[in-house]
Amino acid sequence: MGDREAILERLRGASRPAERLSPWLTRRTFENPVDRFCECLTNLKGDVRRAESAEAAWTIVDNLLDEMDAHSVVINQEPPVDGMDTVARWPERTCYVVGESEGDLKAFCADCDVGLTGVSAALVETGSLIVESGEGRSRLATLLPPVHIAMVRVSRLTTDLFTWTAGRGDHIPTNVTVISGPSKTADIEFTLTLGAHGPKRLIAVVYEDGEMDS
C-alpha cells in the first residue's frame, strides 16, 4: 500500500456521520427594533418613511410617485402589494404587474421609473431587506428601475439573517436577495457612487401592523 492509499484508508476509518446543527438562538436584543432598523438603513444611504398604518403607508407611496413624476411602475405580487387595483389607484400611470401583465417584463423594467415590492423580512441588526423570487415576484423589479420602493410591515422585522433563516426551517426559497441600501460602489479613492449596479434610490415605507416577529 502506497502513502496515498494509506492516508485515504485512515481517513475512511476516521469518518463519522455529520451531526445536525442545532437551531440558531440569537442573543441580541434591541430596545426599539423599529428605530434600530430605520437608523441602520438610513446609514446605508437608504430613504426611510414611517407610517402609523397601511392606509397611511399607501398615501406615502402615492405622494412619492407624484413627487418623482413616475409614469411607469413595475409591481411584484406579494403582500401587501398583491391584489391592488392599479388602474383604479393610478389611472395616469402604466403599471406592469409581474405574473399578470402581458409583454416583455425585462424591457419594461429597464425603462420604467419605479419598482414596487413588499419584503419577506427586514433585518434589525443591519437595516437590510430580504426579497425572494418566485411566482409573481421578479428580481428585475428590484434591480433595473432607478428607484425601488419597498413596503415594510413592522411584523416583518426580525433580529438578524440567522434568526430569519432558522425560522424558515427547510423552506428556504431558491433565490433570496439581501438588499442593504441603494446600489453602491467606490473607486480606489473611496469616492462613493450610487446606482452603478442597481437602483440609485431605495425607499422603505415602514408601517405599523402588529408586533415584531421573533
pLDDT in tens, 73-83: 999 999 998 88
Dihedral sign (CA 35, 37, 42, 47): negative
d(CA 130, CA 30): 19
**Residue 149, strand partner residues:** 116, 203
Q: What is the pLDDT of residues 85-132, one digit of tens each?
A: 998 999 999 999 999 999 999 999 999 999 999 999 999 999 999 999
Contact 67, 114 (CB under 8 A): no
Q: Rounded mean pLDDT of 21-44?
A: 86
Distance between CA 87 and CA 175 in Å, rounded? 30
pLDDT of residue 35: 96
Fold of the CATH domain 32-207: Rossmann fold (3.40.50)
Tell me how far apart the alpha carbons of residues 63 and 213 are, in angstroms, rounded to a whole number. Answer: 29
pLDDT tens-digit map of 144-180: 999 999 999 999 999 999 889 888 877 777 789 999 9
Q: Taking residues 184-198, what's their average pLDDT?
A: 70
Nearest one of 87, 95, 133 to 114, comparing CA atoms: 95
H or E stretch including 142?
helix 140-143
Q: Rounded to a whole number, what is the distance in angstroms from the first to the last CA of the chain?
A: 56
Q: What pLDDT sits at residue 29? A: 84
* pLDDT at position 65: 97
Cell of 204: 422603505
The pLDDT assigned to 1 comes to 65
Domain boundaries, given as residue ranges, for the chain: 32-207
Average pLDDT, the chain: 88
Identify the pLDDT of residue 24: 66
The pTM score is 0.83
Provide mean pLDDT across the span 15-40. Answer: 80
- Segment 1-7 mean pLDDT: 82
pLDDT of residue 187: 67
Contact 158/26 with Cβ under 8 angstroms? no
Can you read off the three cell numbers belonging to residue 125? Answer: 441588526
| Whole-number percent of the chain with pLDDT over 70 | 89
- Can you tell me the distance from the alpha carbon of 99 to that of 105, in angstroms, rounded to the nearest whole number? 9
